[in-house]
Amino acid sequence: MKEINRRKFITYGSASILPLVFNSAAIAKTKAITESGLADTFKDKFHIGTAISTNTLENNNSRLLKLIAREFNTITAENDMKWGMIRPSLDKWDWKLADKFVDFGRKNQMLMVGHALVWHAQIPNDVFFENSRPRSKKDLLKIMKDHIVTMVDRYRNSIAVWDVVNEAVDNDKWRRTNWFKYIGSEYFEKAFQYAREADPSAHLIYNDYGMDSPSKQDFLLDAIRRLKSKGIRIDGVGMQLHAALDGPSARQIEDAIVKFAKAGLQVHITEMDLDVLPKVDDYSGAEISTNYSYNEKLNPYVSGLPEEISKLHTKRYTELFEVFIKHSDKVARVSTWGTIDSESWKNGWPVNGRTNYPLLFDRNYQPKEAYHSIKSLVQ
């Protein structure tokens, strides 16, 4: 298989992501602009991507994979590069689906994002415990380094961007995870150090939800500055944009993008979706362990989305993409967390068994009005 030239995507000196190169003149001659995919539409602005689910890879959903190849130029494995999937125990690696993901990306010459090297969730207990006793800091750092080096080295010629640490900050303090409990905040530093040593040319980012929060921004930027003073570089931040109809506002997202960019960081919109269902209490985070009991009042659109809600869905996507386009010199990538509504995690979180409509394509693989609206912004 032909090697993908990563210089097409990465400027090694600054680790900045470059636009993909398309023969736009040839494309214009062969198909109307309304028939072009999202990648072609936004080619002069930023990379546009999606997450590929385990089900899609495992069952070889050719219809969905063709849609992804047509519409996007960037892909992330939703689950299949997370620790629990790729390394279910310390002495066992399962590369099958991750390799399949990479093969698809290489075949379609896509920018691939490795997600995620260090996270507190979806990780086997034997990483942190041996015979029910916590591992020593030294042993745990060794396990972390081995995992990062093995992952990055295996995909060095294919994956140019890595979510090195995922969801380590709880508003204005370190999240009290097992990583923090047994290593301390040093684990954040070491994770980026190990990843940088494993592939000096890689584009390394920190990824989290709630990044519109000024207190979280300040805490994270202070941590990144401390790493920089030690010679450890972080190239960008991933803003998971698990949005709702009532927030975060476009202004909040814009302020965050500008703030991170002023700190010398490229901004990635990493997990964008738009929850259209009623909120559970006032919960607005994205902690995967959160779970609420099913209630029919929280699942009102089983038979379809009402027109007024569909219009709000379109309006929200449009106003957010207006921000991304305005700051396209700062935004490296915009990735939705899934492609069609039926595969979205929002159908099962934070309440299992609901019918949600958070993405740009419906359950019949058809583009929604929001899809056409965001394309019209640059056409």
Q: Provide the annotated active-site residues.
A: 167, 271
Measured distance CA(220)–CA(263) in Å, rounded: 11
Contacts of 44 (CB under 8 A, 6+ apart): 19, 378
Note whether 190 and 165 are within 8 A (CB).
Answer: no
Phi and psi torsions of 348, nearest 5°: -125, 5
In this structure, which amino acid lies at residue 346? K
Phi and psi torsions of 81, nearest 5°: -115, 5
Phi and psi torsions of 292, nearest 5°: -120, 155
Q: Find the helix or strand (DSSP H, E) in which 37 lies.
A: none
Note whether 77 and 40 are within 8 A (CB).
Answer: no
If you write DSSP's letter for every residue of 339-354 in order, what string do you get? SBGGG-GGGTSSBTT-
How many other C-beta atoms lie within 10 A of the C-beta of residue 245? 15
If you write DSSP's letter for every residue of 111-150 in order, what string do you get? EEEEEEEE-SSS--GGGTEETTEEPPHHHHHHHHHHHHHH
Phi and psi torsions of 195, nearest 5°: -65, -40
Residue keyed to tokens 């979280």? 216
* CA gyration radius, the chain: 20
Measured distance CA(60)–CA(55) in Å, rounded: 8
Measured distance CA(33)–CA(11) in Å, rounded: 29
* Positive/negative CA dihedral, 353, 69, 239, 201: positive
